[in-house]
DNA sequence: AACCTTTCTGACTCGCCGTCAGATTTTCGG
DNA sequence: CCGAAAATCTGACGGCGAGTCAGAAAGGTT
């Protein structure tokens, strides 16, 4: 197991090259956010870091590879969310706990939405590498959710017609997608708090049966 | 109010041209499905209908315009779904009604997923025309959902910390996104019926409080 | 300073985009 | 059925970004 970073041709790279690669990744993330994946051009990324397009191809075989790397980095930031999904939401402070999870999830989404959107598109269009990254990220959260649902069914608080895995997926789906709607909802008068509280209430209900 | 269809330069077109335009739209939908929006090329669309790229530009200023048209057509197919969202799910056959809605929604999604995915991407990346189309489509369903939630809150079956508009959005979000996960979930053992029944149960719970 | 390794880039080919002038097909009055 | 006019289609072209590669530049070592 090595922490070495490789260039596109497979050689291990030094510290100067590592810095260049980092700048390219940051520029990719920035432009992905500003222009969207459909207008993301290697020329622009290169220009942004003040190098030539050829330099980009020293480190990545194509733009996808850079985005994939960013998606993996986003997955790292998702890990702390799991700690907020411990069983026990059926206690009296359950709704509060749900709220704290929603806060953390919203912050996570705000930071990475452009990359996550790109990741999801690629995954849905069938790219296996993006699929793998997305699945890994989703399973982190879904495993914890699934445990909560299973517990709720066992305690007869939740209907046994719920499939725990699917329910966990549905909860993730709802969180992810609702946040993608946010800018548009804001324009129609739903502010951050309304979204936050409603999502927390729905999660609380779906996961505990209360 | 006219049913005339226009070419890219604004002139009204005849029946031959209309047929060509239709073929171009169908080819666009087909290739969008097969290759995804990132690899959708005008050359391929043209080749598919056996014409030259220049012909494409007779009818659409760019690929976006064709996709937008397809998205509008998809919205038409969404309208019948609203009829399945009449209030009264709190009656004894509520869960069954929820199941029928999910069936219809799944069929709708299966037919149009490639176009809807493209529409959503464009909308989320800030394209105002796609935003408008998506909002129109979502509001169709959301208006009906919102009425059900409001009724549930009034009857004290649902928590009054739920914002009806946001709840409606969350329900749409869950449906949409969960179906996007389907291929991947299938690979992990969640079959169509599990998804169908779980989603129906969750909708029933979120909308009626049962 | 001479040499070697790492990193970067100019310059090139290729393919797609979008345009436009002109070719082809269809329509229609006589 | 003919010829002209209108509608529709396309070949050919300029422009731009993708991706490659040989060689230049920068940095390190003795």
pLDDT tens-digit profile of A174-200? Answer: 999 999 999 889 998 899 999 999 999
The pLDDT assigned to A3 comes to 73
Q: Is B132 on the interface with A (CB under 8 A)?
A: no
* CATH number for the domain that contains residue B187: 1.10.357
The mean pLDDT value for A35-59 works out to 97
Q: Which of A159, A166, A199 sits opposite B195 (nearest CB)?
A: A166
The mean pLDDT value for A137-141 works out to 96
Together in a domain, A35 and A88: no
The pLDDT assigned to B2 comes to 60
Shortest alpha-carbon distance between residue A74 and chain B (Å): 19
The mean pLDDT value for B59-75 works out to 98
Nucleotide nearest B16, from its CA to each C1': D8
The mean pLDDT value for B62-72 works out to 98
Together in a domain, A97 and A52: no
Number of CB pairs < 8 Å for A and B? 137
The pLDDT assigned to A2 comes to 61
The mean pLDDT value for B73-90 works out to 94
- Are B131 and A199 inside 8 Å of each other by CB? no
Mark the nucleotides of strand D covered by protein, meaning any atom under 7 Å from a CB.
Answer: 7-12, 17-22, 27
Q: Which of A122, A173, A199 sits opposite B177 (nearest CB)?
A: A173
Together in a domain, A134 and A175: yes
Together in a domain, A135 and A173: yes
The mean pLDDT value for B31-60 works out to 97
Together in a domain, A87 and A133: yes
- Chain B residue nearest residue A196, CA to CA: B166
Together in a domain, A82 and A175: yes
Last residue of a domain, one of B5, B33, B61: B61
The mean pLDDT value for A75-88 works out to 95
Q: What is the mean pLDDT of chain A?
A: 95
- Are B169 and A159 inside 8 Å of each other by CB? no
* CATH number for the domain that contains residue B43: 1.10.10.60
Together in a domain, A151 and A186: yes
- Chain B residue nearest residue A119, CA to CA: B121
Together in a domain, A121 and A166: yes
pLDDT digits (tens, 9 = 90+) for B95-141: 999 999 999 999 999 999 999 999 999 999 999 999 999 999 999 99
Q: Is A169 on the interface with B (CB under 8 A)?
A: yes
The pLDDT assigned to B126 comes to 94
Distance from CA(B127) to C1'(C28), angstroms, rounded: 45
- The set of long-range contacts for B53-61, using a CB threshold of 8 Å and a minimum separation of 24, is B55/B20, B55/B24, B56/B24, B57/B8, B58/B7, B58/B8, B58/B9, B58/B17, B59/B7, B59/B8, B59/B13, B59/B17, B59/B20, B59/B21, B59/B24, B60/B8, B60/B24, B61/B8
The answer to whether B16 CB is within 7 Å of strand D is yes
Q: Which residues of B touch A138 (CB under 8 A)?
A: 181
* CATH number for the domain that contains residue A54: 1.10.10
Note whether residue A8 is domain-resident. no
Torsion angle defined by CA atoms of residues A191, A91, A146 and A101, in that order, rounded to the nearest 10 degrees: 30
CA–CA separation, A157 and A208 (whole Å)? 7
Note whether residue A65 is domain-resident. no
pTM equals: 0.94
Question: Is residue B1 pLDDT above 70, yes or no?
Answer: no
Q: Is A37 on the interface with B (CB under 8 A)?
A: yes
Question: Is residue A1 pLDDT above 90, yes or no?
Answer: no
pLDDT digits (tens, 9 = 90+) for B2-39: 678 998 888 888 999 999 999 999 999 999 999 999 99
Together in a domain, B107 and B31: no
The pLDDT assigned to A162 comes to 93
Instruction: Name the β-bridge partners of B12.
Output: B6
Q: Is B146 on the interface with A (CB under 8 A)?
A: no
Q: Of A114 and A184, which is predicted with more confidence?
A: A114
Together in a domain, A40 and A89: no
Note whether residue A9 is domain-resident. no
The answer to whether A43 CB is within 7 Å of strand C is no
Tell me whether residue A16 is exposed, middle or buried, using C-beta atoms within 10 angstroms of its C-beta: 0 to 12, 13 to 18, 19 or more: exposed
Together in a domain, B42 and B82: no
The answer to whether B62 CB is within 7 Å of strand C is yes
Residue B117 is part of which domain span? 72-208
The answer to whether A4 CB is within 7 Å of strand C is no
Count of domains observed in chain A: 2
- Are A163 and B189 inside 8 Å of each other by CB? no
Together in a domain, B128 and B192: yes
Note whether residue B7 is domain-resident. no
- Chain A residue nearest residue B136, CA to CA: A184
The mean pLDDT value for A129-135 works out to 97
The pLDDT assigned to A129 comes to 98
């Amino acid at each position: 197991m090595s922490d070495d970073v490789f260039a596109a041709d497979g050689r291990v790279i030094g510290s100067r090259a590592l810095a260049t690669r980092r700048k390219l990744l940051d520029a990719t993330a920035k432009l992905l956010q500003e222009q969207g994946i459909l207008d993301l051009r290697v020329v622009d990324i290169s220009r942004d870091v003040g190098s030539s397009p050829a330099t980009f191809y020293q480190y990545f075989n194509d733009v996808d590879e850079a985005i994939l790397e960013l998606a993996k980095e986003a997955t790292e930031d998702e890990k702390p969310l799991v700690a907020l999904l411990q069983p026990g939401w059926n206690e009296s402070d359950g709704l509060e706990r749900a709220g704290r999870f929603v806060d953390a999830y919203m912050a996570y989404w705000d930071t990475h939405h452009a990359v996550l959107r790109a990741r999801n598109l690629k995954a849905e269009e069938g790219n296996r590498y993006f699929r793998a990254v997305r699945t890994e990220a989703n399973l982190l959260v879904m495993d914890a959710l699934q445990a909560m649902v299973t517990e709720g069914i066992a305690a007869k608080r939740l209907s046994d017609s719920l499939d725990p895995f699917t329910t966990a997926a549905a909860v993730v789906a709802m969180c992810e997608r609702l946040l993608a709607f946010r800018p548009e909802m804001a324009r129609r008068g739903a502010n951050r708090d309304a979204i936050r509280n409603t999502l927390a209430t729905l999660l609380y209900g779906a996961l505990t049966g209360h």
